[in-house]
A and B are shown apart, each in its own frame.
Chain A
Amino acid sequence: VAGKVHRPFSIVGGDLHLLTGNCGKGQITNITKYEESGGYSMLRKALAQPPSAIVDEVKAAGLVGRGGAAFPTGAKWEAVAASNSPIRYVVCNADEAEPGTFKDRVVIEDDPHRVIEGLAICGYAVGAHQGYIYIRGEYTLQYWILNAAVDEARQAGVLGKNILGSDFDFDIEIRRGAGAYICGEETALFESIEGKRGFPRVKPPFPTTFGLFGKPTVINNVETLINIPLILQLGSAGYRQFGTEKSPGPKLFCISGDVVHPGLYEVPFGVTFRHLLYDLAGGMRPGSQFQAALFGGAAGAFAVEQNLDVRLTFEDLRAAGLPLGSGVITVFDQSRDLLDILLRLGHFFADESCGKCYPCQLGTQRQYEILQRLADGRALPGDKERLLDIGWTMTDASLCGLGQTAASAVLSAMRLWPELFEFPNAVSSIGEQA
């Protein structure tokens, strides 16, 4: 693969290796090795069945989207498969920019053909002949790896006309992002592929009716797509042996921060946070104590000691008021200044807001300013109320998911540690104010 850029090494571990079997070995799985490990046999199997059988299998498996919003994948596929538009698209969302998330990067780097197989099966199931992979601009090396894999697949007849000897044509084009977090939002991503600013569109209409170039489109996250060959391999019942009733299957978690072995871990849905943190990631760094963990990245919420035994499923986390998001957990020890962390998140959103709608464009700026005052210990009377007000307004009135979750971590911190936001706050109460 071209480029002098070396591969950042990542720990890949966990209780399962259904999705990550070819990952973490320090090498790229080329098409030969992929086929030796059973690769592309599920695409072959799919092509021998009617497309509707595959959609049914995915529905029966209960697969939900791994990009963060947990929408049932089968429902999206069914809608596009049923459309009467002759032109349809399938898109793989590899924009991965949620702070702390790196699962899609590792999968693309180590096992790119699995992504291609998933997308090709998706294309066949919904009757799309053109697929796109939109990869984050910063992922340079990964772009080249994916490019090489697509070339290999074309040469092997896996992509192109009459793929694998069937009467189905399917090809993939890779598009690179250019450094904008918002372009991970599906409709902003379409705008970007179309050569425009990444401004999100109003939903509905959903991509299933009006997607890329205005055509019915299935868009799925990288991790969602690599579950597809697995579902066909195990059958929906076999797949459901893993995980829980409402959250079936395996899940990739990215854990980083103050832990001994930060890395990517594959587990069945339903293990506890404690298991992930202590048994898999090696627990807290020597000499440090657990203070809190941010679940779901910048758009997430904080977990504390009492949440250690929460089971990692969509339903359990929702009940605990924690988002699972893209499976990202950042752990902080007792020495970390939470206001400082919130300040960084505030900066992130103020920086990444696309500016299309006012609640978020202005709200993220005001939120950042207030967080700055709090962190500097020069909060004004009423700042706590202002912060709450901005948070609720952004959550309720923003156009897209970015603005709707830009206050999520702040609001969660305000519930957990109200004292941090009191006026006069910690710093001024030491003396100035007394």
Chain B
Amino acid sequence: MDISIDEIDQIINQEAFGEGSLIAALEAIQARYNFLPSEAIILASDRFGVPLSQIYSVATFYNAFSLKPKGKHCLQVCMGTACHVRGSPQVLDRIQTKLGIEPGETSRDHLFTLETVNCLGACALGPIVVTDGEYSGQMNVQKADQLLKTILRAEVKA
């Protein structure tokens, strides 16, 4: 993906409303590029007038930020207690095998990033898998296969 300094600048300017909106700006950059490019971190340091070290400290603290490019599609398997007892380990296992990556990894073709997350507040519907922000409830191995197939089919068409 091309990183445009102008675009980053725009995003930062949009988010720079008042004290402490650094995190909001980083969130917007993360949402746009799926990671925090070093260019963006340097620019944010300049615009917000905070030292680089503080921006790194923030960027490495919160789970939502990544300093490495993530895949185009993000799969998150909930490993919270309620989902766990309802079978999320089996679902995770299946997705891991199908994609050939472990949680925290991105596939070679940069199509998928697999993550495990703690309770997402949808426990009544567990096990939960989130694909690009979309919740799928009551997951099982078959439904996981289906989910991956749907994404791949859309990719082939695109």
Contact = CB atoms under 8 A, between A and B. Distances in A.
B27 A97 contact: no
Interface in B77-110: 79-82, 84-86
B150 interface: no
Output the residue of B50, B62, B137 with the most chain A CB within 10 A: B62
A265 B79 CA distance: 24
Interface stretch (A115-123, A154-162, A255-263): A255-263
Interface in A337-369: 340-341, 344-345, 347-348, 351-352, 354
A192 B65 CA distance: 14
Candidate in B84, B85, B133, B137 with the most chain A CB atoms within 10 angstroms: B85
B48 to A, nearest CB: 8
Contacts of A11: 124
Contacts of A68: none
A101 B62 contact: no
Given A180-B61, A180-B62, A100 B81 contact: yes
A360 B58 CA distance: 20
Nearest to A179: B63
A407 to B, nearest CB: 16
B155 interface: no
A417 interface: no
B20 A136 contact: no
A373 B135 CA distance: 34
Interface string B105-117: 0000000000001
B4 interface: no
Interface stretch (A15-23, A38-46, A48-56, A193-201): A193-201
A345 B125 contact: no
Which of B57, B80, B124 counts the most A-chain CB atoms under 10 A from its CB? Answer: B124
Contact of B23 (A102, A195, A341): A195
B3 interface: no
A138 B65 CA distance: 12
Given A9-B125, A102-B124, A179-B62, A298 B81 contact: yes
A8 B125 CA distance: 8
Contact of B19 (A100, A139, A194, A351): A194
Given A99-B82, A100-B80, A262-B124, A3 B133 contact: yes
A294 interface: yes
Nearest to A409: B81
Given A137-B27, A178-B65, A195-B20, A257 B120 contact: no
A423 interface: no
Nearest to B88: A344
A257 to B, nearest CB: 5
A336 interface: yes
Contacts of A344: 79-81, 84
A183 to B, nearest CB: 8
B123 A178 contact: no
Contacts of B135: 5-6, 8
A176 interface: yes
A140 B123 contact: no
Contacts of B134: 4-6
B64 interface: yes
A105 B135 CA distance: 14
Contacts of A332: 85
B81 A294 contact: yes
Contacts of B22: 195
A297 B69 CA distance: 33
A196 to B, nearest CB: 7
A345 B81 contact: yes
A178 B133 contact: no
A180 B63 contact: yes
B102 to A, nearest CB: 15
A175 B126 CA distance: 27
A181 interface: yes
Interface in A191-235: 192-198, 213
A330 interface: yes
B65 to A, nearest CB: 6
Interface in A310-326: none
Contacts of A136: 121
B122 interface: yes
B119 A100 contact: yes
B23 A8 contact: no
A195 B121 contact: no
A96 interface: yes
A83 interface: no
Contacts of A336: 85
Nearest to B126: A256
A254 interface: yes
A175 B80 CA distance: 24
B8 to A, nearest CB: 18
A10 interface: yes
A4 B134 CA distance: 8
A10 B120 CA distance: 13
Contact of B61 (A4, A96, A98, A198): A198
B82 A262 contact: yes
Given A6-B134, A99-B81, A257-B85, A138 B20 contact: no
11 contacts: A8-B137, A99-B119, A102-B121, A140-B133, A195-B20, A254-B123, A257-B85, A262-B123, A297-B81, A298-B81, A341-B85
